[in-house]
Structure 1
Amino acid sequence: MLKAFGYAAQQSTRRLEPFHFERAEAGAGEIEIEVLFCGVCHSDIHQVKDEWSNTVYPCVPGHEVVGRVRKLGSGAARHRVGDLVGVGCMMDSCRQCAPCKAGEQNYCEGPNSWLATYNGPMVPAEKAPGERNVYGRDNTFGGYSDVLVVPEDFALKIPAGLRPEVAAPILCAGATTYSPLKHWGVKAGQRVGVIGFGGLGDMAAKLAKAMGAQVTIFTRTEAKLAEAKRLGVDAVLGSDLKALAALKASFDLLLSTVPERHDVNPFIPLLKRDCTLVIVGALEPMAPVNQQEVAFHRKSVTGSLIASLAETQEVLDFCAEHRIGPDVQIIGIDEIDEAYDKVERGEVRFRYVIDLASLKAQRE
């Protein structure tokens, strides 16, 4: 077993504290990664606070992980020792269901769905006390730690053109917004609206712009209007009903990146006929949709869940090619509680990234 060290929440009070634990050593087809950087996602906060009512404690968050391969398990040949790799939201899947065989591991339909990088199987197994689920474990510990062990095919290659601290949030925020942009076929000349301008919204706007789309940001915060314009995109206050009315039936795709329950009905009229609003930021139950507005113009309101392994590699390569990435603020692990508070208040621009070298001082 590997001696590991990180930060964990022991209960829903959400205070994170130093945590010593063990990881199994790299087995067949697995790699051991020295964690260098880990992004701070709003999902980490939801999970630590048990806001989805499924948190397994102790909880070591972190699913935007970048590090260096330091050991190969038997038969592992996809990466070499010293390679820079990334691990996103998933660290395994059933590999047998139709989505997995189609390369869409994020929609795994196996008994326990995909295995999350932290907090165990995405869908907890119904099992008798002591019985193990199909992955042989009840919990997983994420990237707020010094070492990670994963199957080699669930580790993505970090392109040379991306700094590791910038690459980290792309593994979730970038992948989660790239997947629907690709699936709904965004192309040059189309009009894309991004609802919310936090970590996901920032990446959605940059990616859509790099694809050649005309991008509009919808935000509730006046201060973010100028930030959006510096990015080279249009910006509208979501509360400005007159401005929304002027944009009626003008968008080919809308992405809602707001990370909590919200009402999308004010934005549905902005879609052209036969076009789609995709919710990527919230997993909570949403306000009912105005079916009349949807049906009369054959519009769709749907969702999208993170991204497949192939799409995640694509977005990393795309960002390197187009020289785009999130704006990041580097923090030490001891600053994590303050960072969570600022994320919830919307004060970060646009992604906190933990430098895991800061763990050394805490361990000593």
Structure 2
Amino acid sequence: MTTTHAYAAQNAKSALAPFEIQRRALREFDVQMDVLFCGVCHSDLHQARDEWRNTIYPVVPGHEIVGRVTAVGSGVTRHKVGDLVGVGCLVDSCRTCASCQEGLEQYCENGFVATYNGTDRVSGEPTFGGYSTQLISDEAFVLSVPGNLDPAGVAPLLCAGITTYSPLRTWGAGPGKKVGIVGLGGLGHMGVKLAHAMGAHVVLFTTSASKIEDAKRLGAHEVVISKNEDEMAAHANSFDLIVNTVAAQHDLNPFINLLRRDGTMALVGAPEHDHPSPQVFNLILKRRRLAGSLIGGIAETQEMLDFCGQHGITSDIEIIPMQQINTAYERMLKSDVKYRFVIDLDSLRK
């Protein structure tokens, strides 16, 4: 076992603070890495403060991880020492259910093992995430990072990137399709970039006129102020797909009205409280679909990373030292970041 420096929350009220964890001895198919960068996801805050009522304390958050391989188990064939690699939200699954067999480990019917706040399937011990100097994961859940991309900017792709890529791919975003992205935060800005790179006509929905210029810089062809009824009405019955990234409770009906017949709105934002139920006839009369989507499987996540490598796509980030994580959480609550905090783990090694 290896002593690893980390930051952890001890309870729902405590700030994150220095903490030491013991990483396991290498198993046959394990990959050990020095963590270089770790993105800060809003779900990290939810878990640290037990807002989803399932946190195992102490909790070491972090599931947008880029690192350098330092050791491998005797059976590892996919990665070698020195490789630049990534780990996202999953570090294991049952691997035998129908979903796992189809490469959809995020929907594992026996429950996937989360990178943190999960339970290791072998030892039964809690998993600890990327707010730490070292990580160990089974090679089947370790991804290759394209060498032409900035490693710090890649980190948020492991959650924010795949969370938006998966519904865009599932519901066919591409040339000739009109795609809406609701919200311009950590998820939304990646949705705009990816949908644009896929060749779709991209419309960004925001409540803030101050975000119009930035949305167009990121790749939106149009920007709609969602509080403006006339602007919304001008797009009625016209969208093939809307990816809703907003993680706060809100009325879905105005966006459902914008879907064409057989259009889909995919929810990827995870609010603390459920949205009000939509009007059923808004769905029935146009055969519209209201769907949900959860990150992506390992194969799809690697596909997303390769796609980003081909198109030069990374997240817009602000790099912080580990010691500023509590301030970053407070700023994140105020949407005071463009568009993702990324922790430089060298700050913790020092």
Q: CA deviation at 1:13?
A: 1.4
> Is this contact kept in 2: 1:190–1:214, CA < 8 A?
yes
| Aligned position for 1:346 | 335
Q: CA deviation at 1:138?
A: 4.1
Q: CA deviation at 1:231?
A: 2.4
> Is this contact kept in 1: 2:44–2:62, CA < 8 A?
yes
Normalising by structure 1, what TM-score?
0.93
Match of 1:275 among 263, 271, 275: 263
> Is this contact kept in 2: 1:120–1:137, CA < 8 A?
no
Which digits, 9 at most, give the CA deviation of each residue in 1:75-119, with x for residues without a partner? Answer: 112101000000000000001101001111010001xx0000000
Deviates more, 1:219-228 or 1:246-255: 219-228
Unaligned residue ranges in structure 1 (runs of 5+): 122-132
| Aligned position for 2:300 | 311
| Matched pairs, number | 348
| Aligned position for 2:283 | 294
- Which letter maps to 2:167? P
Q: CA deviation at 1:249?
A: 0.6
Change in 2 beyond 3 A, CA 1:339/1:194 = same
Match of 1:257 among 223, 245, 250: 245
Could you tell me how far apart the structure 2 residues matched to 1:85 and 1:357 are? 17
Change in 2 beyond 3 A, CA 1:134/1:21 = closer
> Is this contact kept in 1: 2:5–2:349, CA < 8 A?
no
| Aligned position for 1:184 | 171
Matched, 1:328 2:317: yes
> Is this contact kept in 1: 2:193–2:219, CA < 8 A?
no
| Aligned position for 1:114 | 112
> Is this contact kept in 2: 1:95–1:101, CA < 8 A?
yes
Deviates more, 1:134-143 or 1:4-13: 134-143
| Aligned position for 2:126 | 139
Match of 1:213 among 200, 205, 213: 200
| Aligned position for 1:230 | 217
Change in 2 beyond 3 A, CA 1:135/1:258 = farther
Which digits, 9 at most, give the CA deviation of each residue in 1:148-185, with x for residues without a partner? Answer: 01001100000112111011000100001000111111
> Is this contact kept in 2: 1:261–1:282, CA < 8 A?
no
Could you tell me how far apart the structure 1 residues matched to 2:171 and 2:147 are? 29
SS of residue in 2 equivalent to 1:94: coil
| Aligned position for 1:32 | 32
> Is this contact kept in 2: 1:115–1:135, CA < 8 A?
no
Q: CA deviation at 1:134?
A: 4.4
> Is this contact kept in 1: 2:113–2:121, CA < 8 A?
no
Which digits, 9 at most, give the CA deviation of each residue in 1:200-237, with x for residues without a partner? Answer: 00000100000110101111222111211222411111
Which digits, 9 at most, give the CA deviation of each residue in 1:266-297, with x for residues without a partner? Answer: 11010000110000111542210110111011
Match of 1:266 among 235, 238, 254: 254
Could you tell me how far apart the structure 2 residues matched to 1:286 and 1:66 are? 34
SS of residue in 2 equivalent to 1:47: helix
Deviates more, 1:260-269 or 1:98-107: 260-269
- Which letter maps to 1:207? L
| Aligned position for 2:153 | 166
> Is this contact kept in 2: 1:25–1:32, CA < 8 A?
no
- Which letter maps to 1:51? E
| Aligned position for 2:42 | 42
> Is this contact kept in 2: 1:193–1:254, CA < 8 A?
yes
> Is this contact kept in 1: 2:143–2:302, CA < 8 A?
yes
Matches within 5 A, 1:7-18: 7-18=7-18
Could you tell me how far apart the structure 1 residues matched to 2:2 and 2:138 are? 16
> Is this contact kept in 1: 2:192–2:219, CA < 8 A?
no
Could you tell me how far apart the structure 2 residues matched to 1:11 and 1:258 are? 27
Which digits, 9 at most, give the CA deviation of each residue in 1:314-339, with x for residues without a partner? Answer: 11111110112211111000110111
Could you tell me how far apart the structure 1 residues matched to 2:78 and 2:218 are? 37
| Aligned residues with identical type, % of pairs | 49
Could you tell me how far apart the structure 1 residues matched to 2:131 and 2:152 are? 14
